[in-house]
Structure 1
Amino acid sequence: MLLVEIALRLAKDGEKVKSNAVRALGYLLRFIRFNNHSDTVDDPSNSVFCGDPVWLERMVHALISCVTTGNVKVQWNVCHALSNLFMNNTLRLADMPWASSVYSILLLLLRDSNNYKIRMHAAVALAVPVSRLDYDSSFPDVVQGIEHVLETLSSNNLSSPSNFKHRDNLKKQVTFTALHLFGFVSPKDDQSLKGFLIKKASFLEDWLKSLCSLFNNDEDQPLTSEAINDKDGFSPNVAQKVMVSSAVKSLIDVYTSGNQHTVAQRFEQLARSLQ
């Protein structure tokens, strides 16, 4: 398709042009229909036109390349584009050979970028996939990566005074993403991930307690406007509570299956506090 070819060529241009090209690729990746098995193909907004899988691979690799060759604005737009990619309901992410590379790039940006806005939008993208299956073999790395960032942000260390104003938004988004991911953990996960969650039980317990304490506040304080506002039928506070409850219950199952009964009992107390 001509639009795809133009965007791919422009993605190799100068920074300003590359930034716009990345946004265009993201828009195309959101709406191109790449198979005929989606539950949403009857919705015109989700099926602008059918796409060649070869285009898909070229577009994704162009985005990955732009992370290493682009400036801050380009990297921010890459995160936004990958969010759009994950929103494409005609893709089976678990079947995509490039999926692990995409998750690795987002984790790299979230962990190492000096720009908090880039880190925040990388966290947004990591929270878009709607099922455990979408993360496939990358799931343990994504869970461990988000926990490490969460733990770092929970300390009082700031990497740069210039990032201070963005720190709260980043922390809220990482919290949302972490809850999203912890809601998917289960006794069926590999032993290395379960061992990691057992090792981090004390931190996770304190962190979840701090979130539970927020529900004593009568005011709705969403974790992040980007993440919460689309929860149809729920106030921000209710949506957060549902996510925290889901994460706690999933962790209880993991700890119980690992014979960590004392730990599981403490998390059960957290679960009861949310009822």
Structure 2
Amino acid sequence: VDLLDKSTISLLVEIALRLTKDGEKVKSNAVRALGYLSRFIRFNHHCDAVDDSRNSVFYGDPVCLQTMVQALMSSVTTGNVKVQWNVCHAFSNLFMNDTVRLSEMQWASSVYSILLLLLRDSNNYKIRMHAAVALAVPVTRLDYGSSFPDVVRGVTHVLESLSSNSSSSPSNFKHRDNLEKQLTFTALHLLGFVSPKDDQSLKDFLIKKASFLEDWLKGLCSAFNSAEDQPLASETINDEDGFSPNVSQKVMLSSAVVSLLNVYTSGNQQVITQRFEQLARSTA
């Protein structure tokens, strides 16, 4: 992309937008192309602010960004399985663009809702896995905005449901392991952000799910101790099937436990606090 001038990239975006209204196969490729382009376009900048040495970088305006997002969201409801998979992949790319200020985007809550819906309800485990990937991309608590409580609750519900349901169709069986690993990464990523300052409804939810979260975290501790520094997401996950985050899983586990401990301590949950203090010592 960096080798193309801004007029060429602008034309590519326009073509991709038009093709999202085409047949399923064309729509699928168009959605993927939009996602790839959205990762590298520098949004919220003015073209006249670009110096001559950086003319190869295309600076897009917020209207262009909103149009691209609307096309992706529309494709979820009108596209087939492959289109939906590519929409999740596209949102992952978009979220990786550090010029997209997610906390300021009015459409962000709708995107999170769509990803949660796909994660919860899709019959295709590959789609669910890529929805989980996208939900783990934002790098700060602020990026989730007002959707943060819903995202935490949604991911936790799916994690609990998957943990208690060992059955899956033959077509999904090979993707179940990767889905579980990606959900683990996503859940730890999110739980590392929870704090006593969160909405009471979210804190109440975390208290309600304390037993499940404790058992799940203990299981991770045991797994980590027996297989030190094995990646959470499968190494086979790549650009086609997702990505394996380059983050120490033990650091993520410890961060999630400490964050939950702080929530339970602030809520005067003495019994739960004692259990999570013990858990925190084992992950230190």
Find the partner of 1:3 among 4, 7, 12.
12
Q: Which amino acid aligns with 1:55?
A: C
What are the residue-to-residue correspondences of 1:1-275 with 2, within 5 Å?
A: 1-36=10-45, 48-218=57-227, 220-224=229-233, 225=235, 226=237, 227-231=243-247, 239-275=248-284
Q: How far is 1:35 from its partner?
A: 2.5
Q: Which amino acid aligns with 1:102?
A: V
C-alpha distance 176-218 of structure 1, shift in aligned 2 (>3 A): closer
Q: How far is 1:221 from its partner?
A: 2.5
Q: How far is 1:219 from its partner?
A: 5.0
Q: Deviations over 1:88-134 (max 9, x none)?
A: 00111010010000000000000000100000000000000000000
Aligned mates of 1:193, 1:69 — CA distance in 2: 33
Q: Deviations over 1:182-231 (max 9, x none)?
A: 00000000000000000000000000000000122145421103554534
Give the number of equivalent residue pairs. 263
Aligned mates of 2:24, 2:170 — CA distance in 1: 27
Q: Pick which of 164-173 and 116-125 moved more.
A: 164-173
C-alpha distance 157-214 of structure 1, shift in aligned 2 (>3 A): closer
**Secondary structure of the corresponding residue to residue 84 of structure 1:** helix
Aligned mates of 1:53, 1:35 — CA distance in 2: 6
Q: How far is 1:172 from its partner?
A: 0.6
TM-score (norm 2): 0.88
Aligned mates of 1:32, 1:220 — CA distance in 2: 35
Q: How far is 1:52 from its partner?
A: 1.6
Instruction: Give structure 2 stretches of 5+ with no counterpart.
Output: 1-9, 238-242
Instruction: Give structure 1 stretches of 5+ with no counterpart.
Output: 232-238
Q: How far is 1:162 from its partner?
A: 2.5
Aligned mates of 1:156, 1:11 — CA distance in 2: 36
TM-score (norm 1): 0.91
C-alpha distance 219-212 of structure 1, shift in aligned 2 (>3 A): closer
Aligned mates of 1:267, 1:167 — CA distance in 2: 29
How much identity, in percent, do the aligned residues show? 79
Q: How far is 1:2 from its partner?
A: 1.8
Specify the alignment match of 2:3 in structure 1. none
Aligned mates of 1:116, 1:2 — CA distance in 2: 34
CA RMSD of aligned residues (A): 1.9
Aligned mates of 2:227, 2:188 — CA distance in 1: 21
Q: How far is 1:262 from its partner?
A: 1.5
Q: How far is 1:159 from its partner?
A: 4.3
Q: Deviations over 1:208-257 (max 9, x none)?
A: 000000122145421103554534xxxxxxx1110000000000010011
Aligned mates of 1:91, 1:162 — CA distance in 2: 36
C-alpha distance 197-229 of structure 1, shift in aligned 2 (>3 A): closer
